[in-house]
Chains A and B, each alone.
Chain A
């Protein structure tokens, strides 16, 4: 294991011959190309909920963008690739949200930003041209990687797929693990050539994943990223089960 880049806590892993750093800040760092990958920013989610009459306090997007800015500058990233769901919904694209995104973007003039279009982006629409963001469809190649939003884990019927290399990076699922009774944490999940990233936004719920024995699982236990064996995940889940039974 190498020292964490730029003081960011990270865990270096090698998947299909590609060396990656899994960041506790909910991203993946590819040192060779100085590229930062994140997934599921869901910008404007709270706005969309407020517009529908749900009293959610503002502040989430500012916090998410602040973390992203720190991460990009801390790593010295040249490129940022968002693996889908950059925006949450059309109703959430208020002038306030657009202004916040623009302010964040203008703080990073040298950064190249690419968004892989996710299911939310398809209904929310592409980011405003002023942001200077390149939008690409799912399935594009990026060096040794294939970029997607929805991981190709299951077919239409819900049956498991076994996808061959190359290594695919994806988001969409917001994977999370239960690491103790009532404690869940977002994490990275690797199955059959696909690495699923946790959702970047803190205003997202993690979805508990049930790993198979051949999978690999990493939990974000700030400030660290920790690998668990799938059996450990199952054991922790059952321990939580025992507590619940009481």
Chain B
């Protein structure tokens, strides 16, 4: 058959290296040979790059006749582009393919970019933003029509974000221009591979018929053979889409570092650095190690502690997080690659597929937060397809020990989190419309049909589309066009093209690349050395003279000016704060929460009758985590009850503070935050009272000086009612303030604010305006603006995780309520309580009070036992 003949040269190339193509690679090449598109869904280290690149090159129009761009390679990270170019270039020579592969990313020089526009390389490695910018040039179509394959690398990183939507729109454009286009995505393990593929591939532009507004097309069954590749649902075209699943790697070995003794009354961070000596022992072993933390602040703290404990490791321990300058991060990556570093302390900045070989050991500090995340981090060790990777887990709070056991079970059962694509974001759509207008112009009906071939906009209503047309043309609705505003104009022949004002188009191109950037301040020494960037919101909370830890150093803030924070080194002894970056507190995933409840199910109700904990490790013995946690859980069981998957544990406890209500839904911190605000709001509506709230990943607390009466089923169903949820939530959570924050990104993407001007001149300075101000102006002078609706939707979706919260509320209604009235704070209640009182106390007096309370409770527990 056709495919086997054509793969001969690839086989030869592999043979020359003593390699054999994997089954996955052969199937991918076959897919390319047959002109199909698809998704390669497999863990790191199984040769996804060669699977896609081999096929793309092999089945390109025969070289060297082919002139111009043949393969587009999209990557989410600029930092990956250079490595990718090298990796793609390498096999070409041996395959006798005289191709040029180049990168085109934000910091590619303008001369090089201009040269590319006259003479495109055969392979172009670029980001979604840079591809959009390319599409905004009038000659875009002629530059891109020669493309026969697009490969989207690390699709799992893009799918859940607006950058993913931007990619979908660009692909819809390319599919229309190039009917035979092959699109291939590469993705790490996701819980929703079918949806990820449907999102990437969209449908061909042939059928403009309306889809039923009932909702997204359900994803088809898992499929491995190309013939089964057609999606079952008719509205999504049945093109030849292939979902290729890689070989399953063996489960990683998850080992938990257990302290000598686990406190029965834990609190957030109470283990802290107590396990540092054991971690140091691990790091003493030869080879390189990666130590992952969950927050940038935590990485700074661990880095500082390791260096302080082992001054002899000076220069062998590096730090890597998203706020550090590129030079600092690249030095750490290089040190990992060449093995000169002993340890890199990193955050999720290293979760992305930055290309370095496997390290010798991986350490995870704190909750894994999610199954996919733990798998990916573990996968950094032992990269060979059949090697078993290993991860050493370090708890920072006692109950996290159970999380590690839960994660191990969930991994074994392949309960991996999905990543949900963004639905119809209008800011990205209006940005794309201006891009297309600049890149040759459009006919509104044709562009509507094209946009609707993407998964994100498959249900875009004609009415919304008309609003978007008005927005890019008039600013507001057609009836009251904004005077002097024109980003897109309609030519006499009916074609919509970009404003003839060149600065408008230039400003637009500048704004395309800003989806990811937030208000960031550069941290630099007075004398000029740059250290990295910190969110504006963090530095806004510091005053000149304050000391903070950043990039592994203690710095004193001198002043902030022109988006730069000037610092000087502070003495070692100066007390410092570690920046709390936004997004630092990622909640645990639903999957991990459920797995935790399953673990508790196995413990209860007869787990303490002498037979020992029911949860077992691989070999059938009780898992070490649960064995270590037994005293805590036994006490929880004795004083109250254990939570579980079928029941909602509710504890009512009276203290001097008042009446506390603790609920343990295990839905993650963000949902609990929203839920506690909602419940407090609803209770206060019925009985006026001041209610204080608190939440962690496991549960939430409501405390009031008045008794909260929740004895009847009726009171509960009113409290957990899912009607009026949206309104109640926005009311209870200061929706306006959250809205303003969320609007920042929308304003940037939709081009309502200008950003990212290199060396802002005076004239552009006069155009600087904050998105918060625009939000106020829109609310007042254009309240029907659909971007305000989008803001509300995004607040619900992102800030509150509305869908998960609603789902959670419904599941709470279904669960059996188990109401207990313990005499004292229970082991599960204690950390939530401790977190709440933290807000009112200085660090020292907080630690003091929490410790004393824990000792008192421990004494009470001991006397009983």
The chain A residues found within 8 Å of chain B, CB to CB, are: 45-60, 88-89, 94, 96, 120, 123, 158, 182, 202-205, 208, 210, 234, 237, 240-246
The contact string, 1 if C-beta is below 8 Å from chain A, for chain B 539-559, is: 011011000000000000001
Contact, CB under 8 Å: B484 / A51 = yes
Tell me which residues across on chain A come within 8 A of B781, comparing CB atoms: 57-60
Tell me which residues across on chain B come within 8 A of A53, comparing CB atoms: 485-487, 499, 501, 503-504, 507-508, 751
Task: Tell me the complex Cα distance, A94–B752, Å.
Answer: 20
Task: Tell me the complex Cα distance, A51–B482, Å.
Answer: 10
Q: A56-B475, A60-B777, A246-B839 in contact; A49/B483 too (CB < 8 A)?
A: no
Contact, CB under 8 Å: A123 / B475 = no
Tell me which residues across on chain B come within 8 A of A202, comparing CB atoms: 776
The contact string, 1 if C-beta is below 8 Å from chain A, for chain B 775-795, is: 011101110010000000000
Task: Tell me the complex Cα distance, A241–B539, Å.
Answer: 11
Task: Tell me the complex Cα distance, A107–B682, Å.
Answer: 52
Tell me which residues across on chain A come within 8 A of B773, comparing CB atoms: 203-205
Q: A47-B483, A54-B751, A58-B482 in contact; A123/B762 too (CB < 8 A)?
A: yes
Task: Tell me the complex Cα distance, A208–B541, Å.
Answer: 11
Contact, CB under 8 Å: A94 / B766 = no
Tell me which residues across on chain B come within 8 A of A49, comparing CB atoms: 767, 769
Q: A210-B543, A244-B537 in contact; A57/B475 too (CB < 8 A)?
A: yes
Q: A205-B773, A208-B540 in contact; A57/B482 too (CB < 8 A)?
A: yes
Tell me which residues across on chain B come within 8 A of A50, comparing CB atoms: 475, 482-485
Residue on A nearest B488 in the bound complex, by CB: A53
Nearest Cβ in chain B — how far from A209, in angstroms?
Answer: 11
Contact, CB under 8 Å: B777 / A120 = no
Give 5 closest A-B pairs by Cβ, nearest first: A55-B475, A53-B504, A50-B485, A57-B781, A57-B782
Tell me which residues across on chain A come within 8 A of B752, comparing CB atoms: 54-56
Task: Tell me the complex Cα distance, A96–B483, Å.
Answer: 9
Nearest Cβ in chain A — how far from B594, in angstroms?
Answer: 26
Is the C-beta of B641 less than 8 angstroms from some C-beta in chain A? no
* Interface residue total, chain B, C-beta cutoff 8 A: 46
Tell me which residues across on chain A come within 8 A of B487, comparing CB atoms: 53, 55
Nearest Cβ in chain A — how far from B8, in angstroms?
Answer: 54
Tell me which residues across on chain B come within 8 A of A246, comparing CB atoms: 839
Tell me which residues across on chain A come within 8 A of B767, comparing CB atoms: 48-49, 52, 54
The chain B residues found within 8 Å of chain A, CB to CB, are: 471, 475-476, 482-487, 499, 501, 503-504, 507-508, 537, 540-541, 543-544, 559, 561, 580, 734, 737, 751-754, 762-763, 766-767, 769-770, 772-774, 776-778, 780-782, 785, 839
Tell me which residues across on chain B come within 8 A of A237, comparing CB atoms: 541
Contact, CB under 8 Å: B544 / A210 = yes
Q: A50-B482, A53-B486 in contact; A244/B782 too (CB < 8 A)?
A: no
Tell me which residues across on chain B come within 8 A of A244, comparing CB atoms: 537, 541, 580
Nearest Cβ in chain A — how far from B56, in angstroms?
Answer: 38
Tell me which residues across on chain A come within 8 A of B486, comparing CB atoms: 53
Nearest Cβ in chain B — how far from A13, in angstroms?
Answer: 26
Contact, CB under 8 Å: A52 / B541 = no
Nearest Cβ in chain B — how far from A111, in angstroms?
Answer: 28
Nearest Cβ in chain A — how far from B774, in angstroms?
Answer: 7
What's the A-B contact tally at a CB cutoff of 8 Å?
106
Task: Tell me the complex Cα distance, A129–B507, Å.
Answer: 34
Task: Tell me the complex Cα distance, A237–B766, Å.
Answer: 29
24 examples of A-B residue contacts, CB within 8 angstroms: A50-B475, A50-B485, A51-B484, A52-B767, A53-B485, A53-B751, A54-B751, A55-B476, A55-B482, A55-B751, A56-B752, A56-B777, A57-B476, A57-B777, A57-B785, A59-B777, A59-B781, A158-B561, A203-B777, A205-B769, A210-B544, A234-B543, A237-B541, A241-B541
Tell me which residues across on chain A come within 8 A of B734, comparing CB atoms: 182
- Choice from B476, B483, B504, B780 contacting A52 with Cβ under 8 Å: B504
Contact, CB under 8 Å: B483 / A94 = yes
Tell me which residues across on chain B come within 8 A of A245, comparing CB atoms: 580
Tell me which residues across on chain A come within 8 A of B769, comparing CB atoms: 45, 49, 54, 56, 203, 205
Residue on B nearest A47 in the bound complex, by CB: B484
Tell me which residues across on chain A come within 8 A of B537, comparing CB atoms: 244
Tell me which residues across on chain B come within 8 A of A94, comparing CB atoms: 483-484
Task: Tell me the complex Cα distance, A123–B559, Å.
Answer: 28
Nearest Cβ in chain A — how far from B431, in angstroms?
Answer: 12
Tell me which residues across on chain A come within 8 A of B540, comparing CB atoms: 208
Nearest Cβ in chain B — how far from A191, in angstroms?
Answer: 15
Given known contacts A54-B751, A88-B766, A240-B541, what 10 new A-B pairs fall within 8 Å (CB)? A50-B482, A50-B484, A52-B503, A52-B507, A53-B499, A56-B774, A56-B777, A244-B537, A245-B580, A246-B839
Task: Tell me the complex Cα distance, A57–B483, Å.
Answer: 9
Tell me which residues across on chain B come within 8 A of A88, comparing CB atoms: 766
Q: Which has the most chain B C-beta neighbours within 10 Å: A45, A49, A53?
A: A53
Task: Tell me the complex Cα distance, A58–B507, Å.
Answer: 21
Task: Tell me the complex Cα distance, A15–B508, Å.
Answer: 49
Tell me which residues across on chain B come within 8 A of A55, comparing CB atoms: 471, 475-476, 482, 485, 487, 751-752
Residue on B nearest A239 in the bound complex, by CB: B839
Tell me which residues across on chain A come within 8 A of B475, comparing CB atoms: 50, 55-57
Residue on B nearest A158 in the bound complex, by CB: B559
Task: Tell me the complex Cα distance, A53–B770, Å.
Answer: 16
Tell me which residues across on chain A come within 8 A of B501, comparing CB atoms: 53
Residue on A nearest B582 in the bound complex, by CB: A244
